[in-house]
Amino acid sequence: MVKVNILVTSDIHGNVLPIHYGSNEYSEVGLAKISTIIKREKRENKHTILIDNGDLIQGTPLTYHFARYLNHKMNPMIKLLNELSYDAAIVGNHEFNYGMKILNQAVEESHFPWLSANIIHAGTGNPYFGKPYIIKQFEEGLKVAILGITTHYIPNWESPENIKDLTFQDALQTAKDWVQHIREKETPNVLIVSYHGGFECDPATGEATEALTGENQGYRICHEIEGIDVLITGHQHRRLAGEINGVSIVQPGFNGQALGKVAVTLTKEKDEWSITDKKASLLELAEGEADASCLDLIQEYETQTQQWLDQPIGKVYGDMTISDPLKARLKDHALVEFINQVQMEAAHTDISNTALFNNELKGFKNKITMRDIVSNYIYPNTLTVIRITGQDIKDALERSADYFTINNGEISVSPSFSTPKPQHYNYDMWEGIDYILDLSKPVGNRVIKLKKNGLDIDLTAEYDVVMNNYRAAGGGDYHMFKDKPVIKEISLDMSEILANYILERGKIEASVNENWKVIW
């Protein structure tokens, strides 16, 4: 009997140190802490396979600073994966964000193969990253196949310049074809599909949990492809471990929250190995300090990143600070207007919405640093443009208006937005339209003015609106946005878009056009 342990990281997004870069405060995440678990697992079992499932090289100031200023050096994330002796990495959608030069460099520097059977070189018709799969062999004659697949929805998000000469084939069909090929040609004892994608349906009930666009096909992969023993997933940033239709599945969250593990037990009878048990689990981060060897490997990059975070990247003319977050949500505020203006320029639209994510945001002082950016835009959101009706806009404003309640003449946050946890991020403010919310009116009837260009908005007309990807998917109970036509998706994190905007201009104006307000 032999136990093969499959260890999985996914959606690390450049997180190495257990810190939040906005404040440098401790955060229970990061590859340096996961490294402690990986090394323990490898010491305990020589039959270990280590796979990264994508979205590795983008997502923190560390990786942004490297891509922009230090790309003549070795990629710090690749340094770490080489040190930990990864067996393979899968190409994620965010791998393309810094352009093909950075991605190709990362692939060339890796001591392990990058896999993606369905990303095809348009000129040759072959998988762009070389091998679609690998075979890992152990001394006892055990053969483990690892097939890499990437969500084929990338052209809906990524800049065309970053993916030119590439064709993204359907992930489900590609997996089906290659699994059959591998089973017939290689006859592995264990077949793993590592898929940078997630589940389109509830794993337990099979009910669709999102629009069936093809972005996520994990449920269908488990049910429609014969011969898969383990399906590694990611992309959705969920924490999953279990089984679907006899296939062990695992998805270990994001930013290095946990390490995925699938323990496969095999027994040999008559010179043939067969699987007798499989168990998927999530290994939580070890207590104590992060792995010192990981920190040493990237110390040069981290030191320069921290210095860069505190260097001014631009100036504000006027006041863009937040002294009272409640007041900043009651009438047009310079920081909110600035973020909306940046979103509209990036997406080439004339209507936008955004939120102040929590009550700790301080806004921008006269000198803006990169740390100010990541402190005020705290989520790794991307931008989505969806086509909605005037009625959808009105319904969304009514949803936001429910954020407020009045007690004894004093305005406060409604319990539905504060209990059991604060949800300030679910109150949106808009640019490109003029509106008034009257809190003296009943919930659902608080929009008393809604105009665009001086005219009442036609509730039956359609408008293209830019917002963060979470909101565009209907997140925060904005059901009116769910499944609406997606006109454009911008895959760069919003913090990077803001930084690029300020860097290009050097100075920004704090201004408000007072296009909206709340009365009571």
320 token code pair: 């863009």
pLDDT in tens, 105-145: 999 999 999 999 999 999 899 999 989 999 999 988 899 99
8 A C-beta contact, residue 436 and residue 516: yes
Q: Tell me how far apart the alpha carbons of residues 256 and 97 are, in angstroms, rounded to a whole number.
A: 20
Residue 379 has pLDDT above 80, yes or no: no
Among 72-86, 239-253, 287-301, 453-467, the minimum mean pLDDT is found in: 287-301
Among 66-70, 188-192, 270-274, 417-421, the minimum mean pLDDT is found in: 417-421
8 A C-beta contact, residue 386 and residue 464: yes
Q: What percent of the chain has pLDDT over 70?
A: 99
Q: What is the 3-state secondary structure (H, E, C) of 115-179?
A: ECCCEEECCCCCECCCCCEEEEECCCCCEEEEEEEECCCHHHCCCHHHCCCEEECCHHHHHHHHH
- 1, 156, 176, 358, 384 from 213: Cα distances, Å: 43, 11, 18, 32, 15
8 A C-beta contact, residue 325 and residue 359: yes
pLDDT the model gives residue 9: 98
Give the mean pLDDT of 168-183.
98
219 token code pair: 């449920």
pLDDT the model gives residue 293: 95
Residue 18: cis peptide before it, omega within 30 degrees of 0: no
pLDDT the model gives residue 419: 75
* Count of CA atoms in the C-beta half-sphere (13 A) of 470: 16
Whether pTM exceeds 0.85? no
- What does the mean pLDDT of the chain come to? 94
∠ at Cα 52 (211, 177), nearest 5°? 60
Residues in the chain: 520
Domains, the chain: 2-306 (3.60.21.10), 312-519 (3.90.780.10)
| DSSP code for 246 | T
pLDDT in tens, 484-515: 999 998 878 898 899 999 999 999 999 999 99
Residue 380 has pLDDT above 80, yes or no: no
Give the mean pLDDT of 204-223.
91
Give the mean pLDDT of 257-263.
97
8 A C-beta contact, residue 243 and residue 196: no
346-366 burial string, b = 16+ CB within 10 Å, else e?
bbebebbbbbbbeeebebbee
Residue 444 has pLDDT above 80, yes or no: yes
Give the mean pLDDT of 220-233.
98
Give the mean pLDDT of 391-405.
97
Give the mean pLDDT of 87-102.
94
Give the mean pLDDT of 176-201.
97
